[in-house]
Copies of this chain bind each other. A is one copy, B any other.
Amino acid sequence: MVDFLTLDTDTLRNMQKQLTLKYEEFKQQNLKLNMSRGKPCPEQLDLSAGLLEGLNRNYLAADGTDCRNYGGLEGLPEARRLFAELLEVQPDEIIVHGNSSLALMHDLIARALLFGVDGQNAPWGQQPIKFLCPSPGYDRHFAICEFFNIEMITIPLREDGPDMDLVEKLVAEDETIKGIWCVPKHSNPTGITYSDQVVTRLATMKTKASDFRIFWDNAYAWHDLTSEPVPLKNILTACKEANHPDRVYIFSSTSKITYAGAGLAMVASSVQNINRLKKQMAIQTIGPNKLNQLAHVRFFQNAHNVRLHMKKHADIIRPKFNLVLNLLQTELGGKKIATWSRPQGGYFISFNTMPGCAKKVVQMAADAGVELTKAGATFPYGIDPKDQNIRIAPTYPSLVELKKAMELFIICVQLVSIEKILCSREQKPAELITPLGNKAQIV
């Protein structure tokens, strides 16, 4: 492959023409593919076939609780045991709830704004507060902060986790920094997993705010693509050892284990935090849908079976990741116009264009019928300062659709890159030129 930057202008112009023809061909196919979200594909959902039907009209939990009736705020005992084991916490350190871990995070922050988190410090809403946002990150975390008027500070996300020098410096100085968002394993979207050292530093660091909290969204805890699970140091244990037992809230769900829309979500933390949360949640609800919890426990029976189940997921989506990675390597490798992640798990491939190209690439793909995650979505306020990160979500489409979508995507990346290179040679501001190279009308 040839480094595009070394090609002369005529060669680039020729390539541009050919790629434009190909792009127009795609446009005429009237594609309609949505790759914007990390959704499991139907075959993955089929892995849990019979989950609900498996209740077999026996609705009694192990302790005799009729799961159809009211009660059980903290979740069924057997569901707490199962997910406690999987998350490496104790059963009394976990609440198993409804179908949305996002709701657990959102509600926790809403309560923190109104009441604080520890019964000692003031409600977070009494003064402007800030959250640290390792980025690229999960857009729905950032949306919660934006919604609640929590100022977001972007922290570079590296191969081993957030830039801890920066994190430590900021939290030591600023009492209004109350939290940090973390997707510690197979991070959304870059796929990295926090190193032991980063976990330790997060647990031990000195924070000016004594009510500082880590929002540990372990959404991909068991979602490895590799034969051996990628290890992640236990943050709750680390926090306890560092004498900050209440510092972390761990979230997870079965959204990408059983059913994305109809699974179970959970929050784990110190017993003190969990008991406080239970008291607050008792005002909100009489209890979660225990029938769905019972169905899940009956379906899996034990943690080992969950892990086996996750291998089946990996078998379905691994070829999709490989297809994307192979196409990227074959078509873009060595051209020096893009970089991308090679994740060992999770749901995304993080793709970086040349600076200033991501929005245009996403727009071009959309114009030809392939919807990607909005460019910028992986950064606070939806603004990618370098306009280069694109989140590729390969799990939902079929292999045939995915191949087509990626071929189009690769064409778009090349066209926008060539345009950028040519622009810079002509020393014209890139924004005056449309992606296809026609000069825009200057008003």
Residues of A at the B interface (CB closer than 8 Å) are: 37, 39-40, 42, 45, 48-50, 52-53, 55-57, 59, 66-72, 98-100, 102-103, 106-107, 110-111, 113-114, 125, 140, 143-144, 147-148, 255, 259-262, 280, 283-292, 295
CB-CB under 8 A from A261, the residues of chain B are 67-72, 286-291
Q: What is the interface of chain A mostly: helix, strand, loop, or mixed?
A: loop
The residue in A66, A102, A280 that gathers the most chain B C-beta atoms within 10 A of its C-beta is: A66
> Can you list 29 A-B contacts with CB-CB less than 8 angstroms, sorted by A residue number?
A37-B70, A39-B70, A42-B66, A45-B66, A49-B57, A52-B52, A52-B53, A52-B295, A53-B57, A67-B261, A68-B260, A68-B261, A68-B262, A69-B259, A69-B260, A69-B261, A70-B261, A100-B285, A100-B286, A102-B284, A102-B286, A103-B285, A106-B284, A106-B285, A110-B110, A114-B125, A125-B125, A147-B280, A261-B289
Q: Which one of B55, B144, B260, B284 lies within 8 Å of A283 (CB-CB)?
A: B144
Contact B292 A103 (CB under 8 A): no
Contact B67 A57 (CB under 8 A): no
**Bound form: Cα–Cα A53–B53 in Å:** 4
CB-CB under 8 A from A111, the residues of chain B are 110
Q: A39-B70, A107-B284, A114-B114 are in contact. List 19 more A-B contacts (CB 8 A).
A: A39-B69, A40-B69, A45-B66, A45-B68, A50-B57, A52-B52, A52-B55, A53-B53, A68-B259, A68-B260, A69-B259, A71-B261, A100-B286, A110-B110, A143-B283, A147-B283, A259-B291, A260-B286, A261-B287
Stoichiometry, as copies per complex, reads 2
Contact A284 B69 (CB under 8 A): no
CB-CB under 8 A from A107, the residues of chain B are 107, 110, 284
Contact B99 A288 (CB under 8 A): yes
Q: Which one of B53, B67, B288 lies within 8 Å of A55 (CB-CB)?
A: B53
